Chains A and B, each alone.
Chain A
Amino acid sequence: MLQIACRVLMLLLAGTMTVAAAEPRPRDDMKKDFVRPAGVPYPADNPYETHKVNLGQMLFFEPRLSGSKWISCASCHNPGLSWGDGLARGIGTDMKTLGRRSPTILNMAWANLVMWDGRKTSLEDQAFGPVTSPAEMNGTIEEAVARIGAIGAYQAEFKTVFGDEGVSARTIPLVLATYERSIVSGEAPFDRWIAGDQTAISDDAKRGFDLFTGKARCTGCHTSWNFTDNGFHDIGLPDTDIGRGEWLKVESMQHAFKTPTLRDADRRGPYMHDGSLGTLADVVDHYDRGGLMRPSLSNMMQPLHLSGTEKQDLLAFLGTLTGNNAPVTVPVLPNPQAARN
């Protein structure tokens, strides 16, 4: 009987929520969905530790992780370029152009699956991917572990954190992931507006917010303070890359890519997994047209019929997501001569 009562209550709640969702929510109510979280989530099996962040930062900038000893994570995820590389497609070993654009690694602590196609299940799982990819850093795990392990300064620091295990194929990903999680987009005018400062953004931007959450349907996918649902959608870009469709053979995943964060987006053109849209204005025009019609196209993509002023308002809104990020200090790395092999 109790079980039945519970179900009835759940159904009643479900009923009222549908009613609420069916009517457009007022701006002040919408704003509640965008409050910044108080802290950074670190997983229980790889908790925060200052030493780990420092070590991870060193390795992130460490070219000796690569086969050529020349390219580091930061070559493509450059803090000066909002943790991307400013290119339409990344450039790896031997100046080879990669298949996709280097995404930002901002706010990865809130990510679920990573990579444009979600093929990696965590940052720890991702870390050796670029190291061993022939197109990217063209190295091997054994070589990376041996090289880093042969450098005295790293040895000592890894011992402090991990004891006898020291530098290993398990501990390198742990520190890289911890460092990446510590990279969070700074407070933006939008955040001050959400926190109650009515003058933090312009009236144009406020109208842009209404469009973003309403007529322009952007919050179908770019949700929460981080402006992503961590989901996968085909937004109708006309290239041949099938994205997530390579891993998941269902119709809606053909040409589907991970929704990127929009934090600091105006620092990160060109846009999309293929860098095919040069400016945010091009992006808004793409959404206005609705994308290439094909069976996998998300049915949340439809022509928007935005006026010129509405497009300007949306762009004004997107501009308010850019924060005052403190410049990133490049770590001092151990003397290159220390690595003999």
Chain B
Amino acid sequence: MHFNIPILSAALLIAAAAPLHAENVIVYQEGKKFSEAEVAVKVGETVTFTNKDPITHNVYSSTPGMAFDLKQQKPDESTTITFDHVGEATVQCAIHPLMKLKVDVQ
């Protein structure tokens, strides 16, 4: 058993620094859900997806102009996506269609 202190404290710092417009937002995949239903970022800011489940997830968006596909994300993997167009991206997991998240890029 071990607790990943560096990651936890980094996350705490980010959470404490800017609850509204974080420069990097962290979203977890956990219990076959995204940890947030909606996040807001400014153009050029990033969202990191971290898989806390013991199973593989996918993250994609087919919103025009904001499309991306993370293919397959294994347990404990993290991937960071930069959102550089204003708009509202619908982000989903192709494997588990009920996993949905809105990214509001201002």
Query: Which residues of chain A have a CB within 8 Å of any CB of chain B?
Result: 3-4, 7-8, 10-12, 14-15, 17-19, 21, 23, 112-113, 118, 220-221, 229-233, 244, 248-253, 256, 295, 298-300
Interface of B is mostly: loop
Residue of A nearest to B58 (CB): A252
Show 15 residue pairs from A and B whose CB-CB distance is below 8 angstroms, ordered by the A residue: A4-B16, A11-B12, A15-B4, A18-B4, A18-B52, A118-B97, A220-B54, A229-B32, A229-B96, A233-B95, A250-B58, A298-B95, A299-B74, A300-B55, A300-B56
Minimum CB–CB distance for B19 against chain A, Å: 5
**How far, in whole Å, are A275 and B10 apart by their CA atoms in the complex?**
50
Contact status B94-A252, CB under 8 Å? yes
Residues of B within 8 Å of A14, CB to CB, are 28, 30, 35, 52
What 5 pairs between A and B have smallest CB-CB spacing? A7-B15, A250-B69, A231-B96, A21-B54, A231-B95
Tell me if B19 and A231 are in contact (CB < 8 A): no
Tell me if B69 and A220 are in contact (CB < 8 A): no
Name B13-50 residues within 8 Å CB distance of A. 15-16, 19, 28, 30, 32, 35
Give Cα A318–Cα B72 distance, bound, in whole angstroms: 28
User: B60 touching A250 by the CB < 8 A rule?
Assistant: yes
| List of B residues within 8 angstroms of A248 by Cβ | 62, 94
Given that A11-B8, A18-B52, A23-B1 are known contacts, is A251 also in contact with B16, CB under 8 Å in the complex? no
Inside 8 A of A15's CB, which chain B residues have their CB? 3-4, 8
Q: Which residues of A contact B97 (CB under 8 A)?
A: 112-113, 118, 230-232
Q: Evaluate contact between B72 and A232: CB separation under 8 angstroms.
A: no
In-complex Cβ contact of B15 among A11, A112, A232, A300 (8 A):
A11
Question: Could you tell me the distance in whole angstroms from the C-beta of B37 to the nearest C-beta in chain A?
Answer: 13
Q: Chain B residues with Cβ under 8 A from A300's Cβ?
A: 55-56
Compute how far the CA of A242 lies from the CA of B58 in the bound complex, rounded to whole angstroms.
18
Tell me which residues across on chain A come within 8 A of B96, comparing CB atoms. 229-231
Residue of B11, B12, B95 near A252 (CB, 8 A) is B95
A118: B residues at CB distance < 8 A? 97
Complex Cα spacing A8 to B13, Å:
10
Chain B residues 76-99 with CB under 8 Å of chain A are 76, 94-98
Known: A112-B97, A252-B72. A4 touches B15 (CB 8 A): yes
Give the distance in Å from the alpha carbon of A249 to the alpha carbon of B67 in the complex. 11
Chain A CB within 8 A of B104 CB: no
Q: Once bound together, how far apart are the Cα atoms of A146 and B30, in whole Å?
A: 49
Min CB distance, A69 to chain B, in Å? 36
Q: With a CB–CB cut-off of 8 A, which chain B residues contact A21?
A: 52-54, 75
Q: Is the CB of B30 within 8 A of A17?
A: yes
Q: What chain A residues lie within 8 Å of B71 (beta carbons)?
A: 250-252, 295
Contact A112 to B98, CB < 8 A, known contacts A3-B19, A14-B35? yes
How far, in Å, is A209 (CB) from chain B's closest CB? Answer: 17
| Structural contact, A7 and B56, CB atoms closer than 8 A | no
How far apart are the CA atoms of A33 and B21 in the complex, in Å?
38
Assembled-state Cα–Cα distance A4/B32 (Å): 24
